[in-house]
Amino acid sequence: MGQAQVGVLLYLHQLAIEKMNKRVLFILLLAVQLPATAETPSADLILFNGKVFTGNSARPHAEAIAIRGERIIAVGNSDEIRALAGPATKRVDMHGHLVIPGLNDAHYHLSIYPADAINVELKSPDPGWEELRDALAAKAAATPVGTLLLADVSAAIFNDSRVDRAALDQVTTDHSVVLRTFTGHSEILNTPAFLKVGIGENAIDPKGGRFERDATGRLTGVVREYAVLQVARRLADSTNDTDAQRELQHKLAQAAEWGITSIQDMSNAIEPGRAVRLLSKIPTPIRIRIIRMPPTTPSGRDTQEGRSLPAHPAPLLRVSGTKWFLDGVPLEFTFDPRGSHKDSSDKGFDESVRDLPMTFDAVELKAMLHESRKFHDPLLLHVAGYPAAAAMLTAMEETGGAPVWASRRVRFEHGDGLLPDLIPRVKALGIVVVQNPTHFAALGEQVTKVAQPMKALLDAGIPLALGSDGPLNPYLNIMLAVTHPRQPAEGLTREQAVMAYTLGSAYAEFAERDKGTIEPGKFADLAVLSQDIFTAPLPELPTTRALLTIVAGKIIYDAKVLSQARP
């Protein structure tokens, strides 16, 4: 700040003390604001010589950024921004690297497993039962008795009726075995695993969930939907705080290395009060929004869990919103017996989306809407199939329609079944759709003609956000959002994908005033990247890493590639 400007400010201060006419004061203030940078105090941190993708349509590209405290104070060319540096300003030369608004993973599940649990890695991408069985047997032979063995399995194994509790018991009864489908909506357990989580033959199904049984009433090992949540919660509960903290810390450090500055966490495995406690203790380096994702009991949904938690329990932590599963996932068919849709691969993914059974009835959907209004609590809904989407749209239309709902940003997570006839209704009700691009690749090989729309949503003016709901790597997700392997015509441009992952995700959490673009006044949440994701060959996108990740004006990850200096 120049001496002349300091003089003007002192003079104004004097005038204010003398209770000067406010209108005159306002005019004088306007006059000193005219030179764009004159009013700006010196920055704490400047980044220059970069290629800034701001996400701000008024000024999409720039070279440099100035930060003071937790916010951005200026965006411009390198000379303009260097002029804002004072004697104490930290300076980072970006050497031409790309900088983007910090990525905001709109749909993630922070999870914790007992520290001695072992993930059984499988060699082929889509193994059959024989390969899995041999891998489990080998792992069991090499690990101490009592160890929990986990394996992620595809629909091919899940739908193979030979794979059940008895088959897993034949491999080992000295170890707990939990097979998880990639989607997290179904599992197959062996007998020791049931014992470990305290679920016995007499267990009663929780509402919206199922412990599958054979004709004699015995548990088959197959666990569905809200019953899977029960298993996940009990495994997380059996993990002590020290191990849990270490696991979360590791995950958040990974996020920072990818330039993720916000995660919206669906708190299903970890009870939200415990999540708050653990994340406050670490403390979290990035912003986390904890979304309640309560379990169900045989008598109904737990509408109270996490309700009394403070909205801002720690500096980068927020608690907001409640999420419910309205259905399962295509190709796993919610509660339908395994194998009853053998022809699904012939009928294709589109048909499996059209037929997907719901977890709750229409009365329950209206109850969720009622609770959202009563508690002023954002509502997030897992909606993968057409029937659940259509039923929820009807429930919203019958409880006030657009006048009540359009401003409440009800979220449809996944939205695979938003077929063309539903799109105008989704638009009218102000629904935000959160897509998860890895799902385009993970659920089998079928292409789709209408399911999993994405570009069609943007074309209709529906707000779109992106979240991983799986592998956290945002550049893998951006690559898949662009290529959309199931339906390439629904792929986004790279800019659209980045915008959905930043501003779109911020909008999906009512935070677009503070986050999602690089512009003065917003939080200084951003990432300098190792390569230009707008021009690098698409298959190389997943190798992208952050060189520098900044949250609330603080460097929380530094790959030590860019030099920092003070003048």
Query: Between β-strands 411-414 and 432-435, what pairing exists: parallel, antiparallel or unpaired?
Result: parallel
Pick the closer one to Zn ion by CB: 469 or 509.
469
Residue nearest to Zn ion (CB): 469
Q: Which of residues 171-190 bind Zn ion (CB under 5 A)?
A: none
**What mask, x for binding Zn ion by CB under 5 A, covers residues 347 to 386?**
----------------------------------------
Pick the closer one to Zn ion by CB: 107 or 210.
107
Pick the closer one to Zn ion by CB: 443 or 547.
443
Q: Which of residues 453-492 bind Zn ion (CB under 5 A)?
A: 469
Pick the closer one to Zn ion by CB: 45 or 106.
106
To the nearest whole angstrom, how small is the minimum distance from the Cβ of residue 182 to Zn ion? Answer: 11
To the nearest whole angstrom, how small is the minimum distance from the Cβ of residue 167 to Zn ion? Answer: 28
**What mask, x for binding Zn ion by CB under 5 A, covers residues 1 to 40?**
----------------------------------------
Pick the closer one to Zn ion by CB: 72 or 326.
326
CA–CA distance, 177 with 220 (Å, rounded to integer): 14
* 105 binds Zn ion per the rule CB under 5 A: no
To the nearest whole angstrom, how small is the minimum distance from the Cβ of residue 106 to Zn ion? Answer: 10
Give the interface size with Zn ion as a residue count (CB under 5 A).
1
CA–chain centroid gap for 310, Å, is 21
Give the number of other Cβ atoms within 10 Å of residue 495's Cβ.
13
To the nearest whole angstrom, how small is the minimum distance from the Cβ of residue 469 to Zn ion? Answer: 4
To the nearest whole angstrom, how small is the minimum distance from the Cβ of residue 183 to Zn ion? Answer: 8
To the nearest whole angstrom, how small is the minimum distance from the Cβ of residue 467 to Zn ion? Answer: 8
Pick the closer one to Zn ion by CB: 62 or 290.
290
Pick the closer one to Zn ion by CB: 293 or 518.
293
Whether the Cβ atoms of residue 354 and residue 419 lie closer than 8 Å to each other:
yes
CA–CA distance, 415 with 460 (Å, rounded to integer): 14
> φ, ψ for residue 289 (rounded to 5)?
-105, 115
CA–CA distance, 413 with 323 (Å, rounded to integer): 9
CA–CA distance, 398 with 365 (Å, rounded to integer): 11
CA–chain centroid gap for 136, Å, is 31
To the nearest whole angstrom, how small is the minimum distance from the Cβ of residue 385 to Zn ion? Answer: 15
> Which of 257, 276, 289 has its CA nearest to residue 514?
289
To the nearest whole angstrom, how small is the minimum distance from the Cβ of residue 327 to Zn ion? Answer: 13
> φ, ψ for residue 341 (rounded to 5)?
-120, 45
For 218, the 3-state DSSP assignment is coil
- Angle, helix 241-257 to helix 272-281, in steps of 10 degrees: 70
Pick the closer one to Zn ion by CB: 469 or 525.
469
Give the number of C-alpha atoms closer than 13 A to the C-alpha of residue 56, restricted to the C-beta side: 19
CA–CA distance, 334 with 475 (Å, rounded to integer): 30
> Which of 431, 103, 438, 83 has its CA nearest to residue 264?
103
> φ, ψ for residue 405 (rounded to 5)?
-100, -25
To the nearest whole angstrom, how small is the minimum distance from the Cβ of residue 293 to Zn ion? Answer: 9
To the nearest whole angstrom, how small is the minimum distance from the Cβ of residue 102 to Zn ion? Answer: 21
Pick the closer one to Zn ion by CB: 127 or 470.
470
Tokens of 64: 């440099």
Q: Which helix (H) or strand (E) holds 391?
A: helix 386-397
For 185, the 3-state DSSP assignment is coil
Pick the closer one to Zn ion by CB: 192 or 467.
467
**Contacts to Zn ion by CB under 5 A:** 469
